[in-house]
Every structure is written in structure tokens, then in C-alpha cells.
A and B are shown apart, each in its own frame.
Chain A
Amino acid sequence: MTDTTDTPNESTRDGSGAARRDFLKGVGAAAAVGATGLGSAQDLTEMTALDVVDDPIGNYPYRDWEDLYREEWDWDDKARSTHSVNCTGSCSWQVYTRNGQVWREEQAGDYPRFDESLPDPNPRGCQKGACFTDYVNADQRVTHPLRRTGERGEGKWERISWDEALTEIAEEVIDTVEDEEYDAISGFTPIPAMSPVSFASGSRLVNLLGGVSHSFYDWYSDLPPGQPITWGTQTDNAESADWYNADYIIAWGSNINVTRIPDAKYFLEAGYDGAKRVGIFTDYSQTAIHCDEWIGPEPGSDTALALGMARTIVDEGLYDEEHLKEQTDMPLLVREDTGKFLRASEVSGLDVDADRPEKVFVMQDADGTLRTAPGSLGERDGQNDHSVSIELDFDPELAVERTVDTTDGDVETRSVWLNLRDELSEYTPEQVNEITGVGERTHQKIAREFADVDRAKIIHGKGVNDWYHNDLGNRAIQLLVTLTGNLGRQGTGLDHYVGQEKIWTFNGWKNLSFPTGSVRGVPTTLWTYYHAGIMENTDPDTAAKIRESIDKGWMPLYPSERDDGSRPDPRLMFVWRGNYFNQAKGNIALEEELWPKLDLVVDINFRMDSTALNSDIVLPTASHYEKHDLSVTDMHTYVHPFTPAVEPLGESKTDWQIFRELAAKIQELAAERGTEPVDDRKFDRQIDLQSIHDDYVRDWLDEEPGALAEDKAAAEFILDNSEETNPEGTDEQLTFDDIDEQPRRLLEAGDHWSSDIEEGEAYAPWKDYVQDKNPWPTFTGRQQYYIDHDWFLELDEQLPTHKEAPVLQEKSEYPLGYNTPHSRWAIHSTWRDDSKMLRLQRGEPTVYLNPEDAEERGIEDGDTVRVYNDLDSVEVQAKIYPSGEPGTVRHFFSWERFQYPDRNNFNSLVPMYMKPTQLVQYPEDTGEHLHFFPNYWGPTGVNSDVRIEVEKVEAEAASIVSDSLGASEAGSASLRSGSESRGALGRISDLLGGDD
């Protein structure tokens, strides 16, 4: 297949040891040999024959050899692509090819500038994107369909044909549908924005099958629940360019310099524009080092810190009164007797012009008169109703305490503002210092500075979002931007960047992924933990709440409960574009309880990740440099494509091709079997396997048969049918060819965004509400800090409040906190196993230990240690990290299970747990404000509350591993001979002509 005719024994420059790059050997190496004629054993005596150099500085006469490196800087072609890895980067790259193979990549660096007063958006990229080429031809690459021959996870496979693979899967699908267990078919694929065509490929088939589509943003605990709770929105962020517009930036648990490498420039350079940058991190993090001030609170105390800062702002009158009156629930009255909002329907003699006065709220104007709050849900038609305004024609009072004549008689009421002030009064400087360790003066000073500037912004990250009480933490930190009116303008807001959760080209993607419009979405945290046995493994109160939520239909669970009260087990799972098995929290239960329930696990992958390794059938898919797709992110407002630099390697096919061919196989076999259409038990549709391929390739919007057979057509479908790329009422449109030529800025923002995309301005959210005065999509139509849901009242969480973390492990037994932050060396598990990245680490998983903690335990840098708790024990290498706070162990997350001696991983120490407040519907009866919607509202898969202990693994025990591995030459030799025997599997080395 490639020119690998040179034998490695030749002592050429690129000869032996060049491993996988042998095939790239091109003119450079050949010319070098030709030019020099060097043998490997030149004699010293040759010096006598040397030509003389009079002066090597500026006058060197023998420079012809320089062509050596010039000829290495050469390529045949290049193609634009990017990487589908949920990093939020969405960076456009040029992929260089040589001799028909991918050589290297370099940032395309051609994003057009839209605001000359901001830093250049180019180049976007990072070190991982800069070596994705490694994966294209890697040892890890899956090149042929494989069927498991050993146990799941054993790594024993047989190569099968595509027809065998698709037939086996199709038969299982047909059986399942015929058994009316189609809701036992799961499709897990995260993050449409990173490659919406690939996302849609399997989602479309699963949708046609009546199967289950999994959420991911909540499951990964990337969703900040405080945002739907307070702002009625999944998340809406400024693009990173907007950071530069701020006068003051707090990076709060968001390690930008590690996790937002392409965007870090805006943060770094904001300092040169006069902005102050404050970092709030428990460790002296890689972002803290470039801040102007670093605050290091105790882990899990961020809520108290934020509320302390809020107290300063409120007590010192530094808040934006106008903003609070118009944009928030602060003036609304709350009944003292029930803790519920006073509703207009309850107030005697109050004139209400609304269809549902029981969902209209009440405030008091400057004259002491009770008034209905404009924009209340009761006067709106659903969650988003922009025909109603929150603009005020009177001046509401913030501080109200009064008796109201209600249908229940006289009732004492107080405004949310006064309730909040009561709550904040708990967070005195002394108390905040006690809880957080942050200085009394320092946190107040930061609060004052934040309130004082014109434009202040918080960049909020995973560091504060993975705690059980993440909703309280979110709400407390959000309160700071609300109090100071830092919303709805450039350079302000709370930008939460964790996961590429939002897709700009929403409508096209939605219609491509879910053509029937009837979607069985499921909150993956609930689905996973339920089927892995959480009901028998959690406290009775949580179990009762989970049951109540399911019974009331607040959270869906599939397979659904049948009429006879039974609930089948999940049966068939497709995983693509994600590493579900590796990344699952509570993974011991998942492996022991959930995994065995699945009759068939199919993984579609270009590399053998832990999920693939634990699957039954692995289908080889095209890498990121071998297909057409699109890429967008909420870090920027551009769209750009994947295009194939080379053909899919070996027998691999694109995701779209794979699922299309599976649909064809299902249709073919269903016809042979005479499978009749099945009525969907939930939706008004039939599942018809005999037309499933025709339905797959049909354009459902234009009713055009066969239109969507190819990936590129699917990408065009998204562009054609999205407001962002083909806005209604204009003749502007972005086509695939346009964006292949150069990344293009999106033309408009669809209505799933809260601001417009404006010419010459960085996108900043919330203008629909703050500037245009549309009601916020909450119960009250305002930013809502008071939640009067029964469960919130019961837990005393109606307002943000600091609570201690739940005790998962006793501190006396497990004295150390356990933090699993994102690393600079991987995007989730991708690149975790990449040799080039591992060589710049330690080649294996490490934990970062504070030197004191290590010394107490007799641990030295480089020691093998056991990190353990009541759930499991993982063996890793200790690395000393003086900048880590004492009492916390950092185990950067997402190492693959096969990187641990016991094949467990960082998640094995995390139990299944979830917070009941995230299982609710609100209002309880109608749910317009909070209702399950995949990735918008659902329980988050938190993990930061875990405790552990660490101990040194004594040399003897550790050496077992290193001996058997080390096995030095013998070990390597056997690996090599192994690779020869893989001919039958048709491995990468065969395709490339062998590597030894």
C-alpha cells in the first residue's frame, strides 16, 4: 500500500528506528543520502583530508548540505480538518500529506477577524491537535471489524467481515424490536458540536428504531445546574474573545491555561489591556501563575466565599439596584408561613391580567401598593414568550416586609431581597475566613474591586462544578454578577466552559439526528446508576426521591415500566465518539451490574479505547482526517469543516457510512424475515424496519428520497437548515465549500441563544433579557435566586447557601480529598495513550501529592502508590506537587483502564451518587422552568466529594509489575514477534508494510 521497500538495515538517516514514519520516507531522506554519501563508520583520520574553513562565523564555504533540511520541509497536498474530541477548541487545522499519507498538521490560522480591537483569533490549537496524525497510523488504530473471542476487556479478537458484523448486529436489533424492547436499545454519543454529522449518524438510526438517546452534559457534570435553576437556560456563554473586553476577570475553578489552550491568549492579554485577573483555585494552578492575584479557598468552600463576597457587596451598597429590580426576583414577596412565593391569585383584590394568576408573582411599589410582577409565567405562553416584557412602569421596592390580605387571611410576607440579606448575614468576614481560609480583608477587597469596575466577568469551570452541592455553588457565584449588574453586555457575565455542549447549527443538527421528532432522551446519570443498582446502594431518602421523580414523570427512565409493573433491562448499546465505559463514575457498579445486562455492546471507533476493549463488536471508523463533517463551539462564533486528507485507513468507514449500511442490513433482513411495523408505546408512530434504510437516507424536510446517502450531503443538510448558516429572510448562506475555503463567522444566532451575533462584536449572552427586556425563561420571568419548590424548601435550599459536602467516606479513615481535574495532556481519554504525549509526562498515570502529605506517608516522588477508599484501590505513580493544597490528592482524570495494573481507573474510587434537587420539575405541576431535557436539566454525575487514603506500595509488590513489564529485551522481543503474528488481524503494520 505504501512505499516501504527500503529495509531498515540501511544506515540511512530515516532508516532503522523510524517505526511508523518509515512510510513517509521521501525525498528528504533519499536526497540526504545522495548528497552526503555518508557511511556510518567514518574514520577520524579523514580530518586530514578536510577542506579548510577559515572562519565559521559568517563565512562558511560548504553550504550545499543545507538542502537536507529544506527537503524535509516538503509536502504534496493539504486538506482542512479539525478534531472531534469535546475540548471546546474547534480549531481549524491544515493536514499535510506526503506520498499519500498524513505527514503532519499545522493550525490553519485563517479565522477572519471581526473586531480589530481584540487580539488576533489565530492560531487556534494545542499540542494534542498538533499530533493527531499519530492516531491516524497508530498501533491503537482499529482497521477491520473485530469480534470478541475472549472475555470483555481481554483484548482477544477475531477479524470478521463487514457483512458478518452488520448481520450479527442487525439480527440483534430486529429481535429486540420484534420483542417490543426497542427502548432497551441505547445510543451513547456525546457533544454534537464537535462533529454533528457523526453525532447524527447513529442517533438517526437509534431514533428511527425507537431507541434511547443519552444525555452527556449533565452526566459529565459539566452542566452547571445553577444556570437552569436561576437563568432558565442550559448555559449561555460569551465567546472567549469577549474576555478581552472585561476590566476585571475572575477565573473561578476554570484552569484556562490547561483546559482552554486556544483561548488562553484572551485572558493573558487582557492584562496588557489593563484588566485585573484574579484566580480562585484550591491549588496554585497553571492559570493562577499568570494571575494578578490568587485566592486559594479550602476545597468545596467556594459557595461560602461567594456568599461572603456577596455580603460585602450588599452591605456596602455596591449592588446595581436598577438591575435587581427589573431583572431579578429580589422584589418578589414570599409568604412567611409556607416559604412559597405569594401568588397574585392569593391576594385579595389584586387586579390580575393573566391566564394563570396562580403563576403570577407579586411585588410592592414605592407607594406601598401591591403590583403583579410583569413577565411572570402565568401571563406567558410557555417558557419562552417574547411577546411579554419585564420592563417596569413602576418602581418596585427591594426591602419589603408586610402583611398581605390573602384568600387564606392575613399572611406575613417578606421580599426575596430581605430573605437573601438574612442568608448573607451568616457570612461575616470571620465566618468566611473560618470556612474558606481566605483572608477577611482579601475576600472583601476582591468583592469591592469586582463591584467597582465597569465590566466584570467570571470564568467558571469544572473545579467548582463537580461537587454534590454544585447547584448551590453555581447559584452563589452567579449571584455576584447579578448583584453587580454584570450581565447582558460585552465583557461581563459568568462564562461556564465545561464541555462543548451547545451547537450553533441547532435546527439542522436536530432534524438530521432525530428525523421523527419523537425522541427518547434519557438523563444518563439516572439511567446508568439505576441499571447499575443505585436503588439498593444509596441512602433511603435519595432512593425515595429518585423513585418519586421517576413515578411522577419528572425524569424519564428507559426501558420504561411496562403495564405489568415490570421494567426490562437495557439490552443493546451502541457507543461512538465517546468512551462511556472508561469515563463512567461509579464504574465498579457499572462493570458488575450494568454491563452484564447488555446482550450486545457495539463500539464504533478509530482507536481501541477502554469501551472498545470491553465491547463485543468493534467497528473501525474513519479518523478525523478521513471524513467530512462540521465543527462549532461556544468558545467562538465560526464554523469550519472536516474534510478528508486521506481515505479511511484499511476497512474503516465513516460513522455515517457505518450506520447507513447497518440500516440497509436491517432493512434487508427485516424484509427477509417479514418483520411487521411495531407501534411505539409512547409516540404516535410506527417503527418500520422494512423501510429503515430508505428513511435513513431520505431528507425528511424536503421529502427527497436518497438525498442523505453521503456524509457531505448530511453536512450540507445541517448548513441548509440552520438559522446560523442560512438565516431566514436573507440571501446570505454558508455552504460547505465556503467554509472549506476559510472558516466563516456565523451569520445569525438562532433562538436557542440569548443574544444576537452582531457585526464587529464578540458574542456575549443575555441581551434578550437584559437589553430587550424579554422575560427570563424562569417561573418568575426573572433571574430567580429563590426557588419555592417543595424539595428545595424541605432541604432549606430555597436560596443559595453553603452546605458541607455529604460524607461518602469518613475523614478519620480516608483523610485526603480526591480531585480529578482535567489535564493538559489529554482531551478526556483521547491522547491519554498517545506515545508522544506520554513521553512528555511519565509514561503512566500519576497522582500529584502535596510534599507534606507525601512525607507523612513515607512517599517519595516516583514511588508506586496505592490510592484507595472503601470502593477500590488503584495503583499509580506519585508525583510531588508543592503547589497542591495539603490534604488533597490530584489524579488528573481520564486515564484509560488499561493503563492501570488492575484495569480499574480514576473513577473506580467514585461511588454512584446524585442530588435530589436535580431530579425535580418546576413548577411541580407544569414544569416550564425546569423539566427534563437532555443536557439542559437532569442530575449531574458529580464526584468531588470523594475521600481517599494513599500508601506506598512496597518495592517488592511494585516490582512484580515492573519485572514482568521490564522483562527488558525479552519483553520487547515478544511484543515484536506478537506484532508479526497479527497478520491475521490485518493490523496497521500490515497496511503500512510492516514495521520491523
Chain B
Amino acid sequence: MSKTTDDTVHQTEDGDVPLAEGVDHQVAMVMDLNKCIGCQTCTIACKTNWTESGGREYMYWNNVETKPGAGYPRDWEEMGGGWDEEGQSRTPGELPEQEDYGRAWDFNHEAIMYEGSDEPLRPMENADWGPNWDEDEGAGEYPNSYYFYLPRICNHCTHPSCVEACPRSAIYKREEDGIVLVDQDRCRGYRYCVEGCPYKKVFYNAQTKTSEKCIFCYPRIEGEGPEGEVRPPSCAEDCPPQLRHVGFLDDEDGPIHKLVNEYEVALRLHPEYRTEPNVYYIPPFAPPQTSESGETVDADRIPRNYLEELFGPEVESALNTITREREKAERGEESELMEILSTVNNDDQYRLEVFDDDG
């Protein structure tokens, strides 16, 4: 059943942007980690849209984790999944325990407030891990500690190992936009996809006995709802610093194409998993280190090799490009890259209707 990358990938007309075979266009997202403040508005926006009830309570289709850190679910980077070096066969993956996700704790509000309990307000079950348990911790020692925030959704991969993992063929990529979905009618909850996804972005719903995942808010981008308005995914639209661009990877006039393919400053998370994610990240900067005598010294605070572990060897050149372009802005020169990353002109922040005429 396995297919090679070569089998499954085709190029757009001018041969520039590889898409999965059979997929006309591919939605994509670029997240600028230099604008992520860990506020989790995306997390809550996603949750209030999709995962409030019905067995989804524990799920965070969108989460934001502190890096370095165990992440969500705990130690997901250690759990395998994805493809081997040839991209031919899947790498075995582990199934996270419920404890690795944490539970959607209920609390004893009513007992305390209205029933005279003298207990403190607490989760009514053991609470020893949760989706943001190691928030702000990071690594290193004061004053040269470091941390940053990493928002994560399903990567809607071009070469998705979850699709391959499903023995019922209940996971698929949509033809029109490459969104990866779990067919809720067909899925029987075997959880091979949960194991197989190296990003651990498929979740098992114990109530419906199906697996569920980020749907890239397709009802929003399709313009469903009473107002019939095309809207970007809520994690993007509701983000206060507006750190996400949403559009199509193969829209060669759009900012995502520029960031990914022209400036090459937007990188895949763990490219070595070889699922070819369609969510890209602008890697993070940090202020330089401080010496013992309290002087600022010219040394990277976030170890470069750590960033390479996350984003691959291209991180170096991406950071250099951004630095160079920022220096231009400091000198008062024009920088297209800086303009794309800011919201001063944000007409193209979300380009979702560009292929509407394709029929």
C-alpha cells in the first residue's frame, strides 16, 4: 500500500510547487514565531468552535507549547511516526496515553460557592499533567535561559502518514484544497492514525469511538454559516498579533509562496518526519546572552543546533535572511519581506478565494 514520495507528488504548472498527486490546490499556513506571545487565543478560538463537548473536551486541535518542552501530548517528539529515510515505509509510532494529553478537569465550584464546602477550588480528579503544564519553562540557566512558543495544528501534510496508516481508508486529502480529514462515518477508532502521525495531531474520541482532528476550519474557508462569508481558520483570524498567513501553497502570487519558496524563511517543523507538512514557521530570534558581569554579549541565546533539530539545517540561512532584511528596514530601505511579516498592509494575509474561478 505504501507509495513513494515520487508517486504521490506532482508539480504545479510551472513546476515550482510540489503538491500531492490528485490534489488541485494545497492550503497552507505560515506562522511567525517572532510574533507568538503564547496567549493561546488560537487555542481557545479553536476549542470554542470545535472541541467543547461530545468527547472532544480533552482535545486541543490547536495547541501552543513552550519550547524546549515536552509539548502536547507530552513528549510527542519522542513517539515516532512519519516515514523512513526513503519515504517508502512508515516509521512505527506510539499511541499517547490519556495522561500525556491531560484531562479536561471539572471543578468543585458549586460545592464551595453554594454548598458550604471548606475545600479549595480544585480539579475533581488527579491533575498532574496538562496541555500547557510546562508553560514558560524552557531550558538553560538564568540569565541565559531561553524559551519560545510553538503553536501547532494538523499540518495537512502533502505526504500524510496518518492517511497511509488507516486500514479502513477513512482518512483522506481533499482534492480541492488538500485538507486532511477523518471520515467520521467510516472511522472505527482503531487509532493507527494516532500512532502514525508523528506530530500527534489526530485524537481519539472515546465517546464517538472515532478519531478526530483539525479540519483547517473548512466550513469557514468554504463560506458556510448564515452569513456566507469566507473566513480563515479561527486560530488565524482570532490571533491578536496576527502571526499566521493562510492561503494556498501553489498560489504563486501569494505571500506564503514568497515566504516558503522565494525568501525561504518559512520552514517545516521536523522535516525529517518526511510527511511534508503544509504548515510552516518563521524561526524565532531571541535577545543575545548576558555575561556574568551583566554585559550583553554577542552569543546566540537559543542554541542554533536546537533550532536545527526543530526546523532542519535551513534555519541558519532563514535567520540570516530575516536579519539582513531587518537591517534594511533599520536603514529606512524598503523590504518586501518585512512588509509581508507586518500587518501594515495585510490585504494578502488570508488569500483563500484566489482559485475560486477554477470551477
Contact = CB atoms under 8 A, between A and B. Distances in A.
Given A56-B169, A62-B185, A69-B50, A840 B109 contact: no
Given A273-B342, A841-B132, A72 B219 contact: yes
A606 B171 CA distance: 45
Interface in A671-707: none
A882 B138 contact: yes
B270 interface: no
Interface residues of A, number: 152
Nearest to A441: B295
Nearest to B128: A862
Given A75-B225, A843-B130, A433 B43 contact: no
Contacts of A262: 240
A345 interface: no
Contact of A268 (B160, B168, B241): B241
Given A75-B226, A841-B135, 17 more contacts: A14-B53, A47-B167, A68-B184, A74-B225, A120-B344, A120-B346, A123-B240, A124-B240, A139-B113, A269-B344, A290-B34, A438-B294, A838-B123, A839-B105, A900-B120, A903-B120, A965-B120
Contact of B41 (A21, A127, A439): A127
B313 interface: no
Given A286-B136, A862-B128, A900-B120, A979 B110 contact: yes
B185 A843 contact: no
B258 interface: no
Given A139-B109, A442-B295, A289 B147 contact: yes
A257 B329 CA distance: 23
A668 to B, nearest CB: 31
Given A123-B237, A286-B37, A15 B54 contact: yes
B99 interface: no
A805 interface: no
Interface in A447-497: none
A35 B242 CA distance: 37
A115 B283 CA distance: 30
Contact of B112 (A155, A440, A979): A155
A349 to B, nearest CB: 54
Contacts of B107: 139, 833, 835, 838, 843
Interface string A880-917: 11111110000000001011110100000000000000
A155 B142 contact: no
Contacts of A11: 207
A44 interface: yes
A284 B181 contact: no
A951 to B, nearest CB: 19
Contacts of A15: 54, 207
Interface string A286-306: 111111111110000000000
B85 interface: no
A138 B106 CA distance: 12
A162 to B, nearest CB: 19
A504 to B, nearest CB: 22
B54 A975 contact: no
B248 to A, nearest CB: 15
Given A14-B54, A56-B171, A140-B109, A62 B183 contact: yes
A155 B113 contact: yes
Given A40-B209, A74-B225, A264-B241, A843 B142 contact: no
16 contacts: A14-B54, A36-B185, A56-B172, A60-B175, A62-B186, A70-B219, A74-B224, A106-B237, A119-B343, A125-B238, A265-B241, A274-B329, A296-B290, A437-B294, A442-B296, A961-B119
A272 B342 contact: yes
Contacts, number: 393
A126 B113 contact: no
Contacts of B332: 274
Interface string B105-142: 11111111111111111111111101111011111111
Given A56-B172, A56-B173, A843 B240 contact: no
A211 to B, nearest CB: 28
A439 B296 contact: yes
A66 interface: yes
A433 B44 CA distance: 44
A13 B205 CA distance: 10
B47 interface: yes
Contacts of A965: 108, 119-120, 122, 124
A318 interface: no
Smallest CB-CB A-B distances: 10 pairs: A58-B22, A439-B295, A60-B172, A18-B53, A73-B219, A53-B169, A56-B172, A257-B37, A439-B294, A274-B330
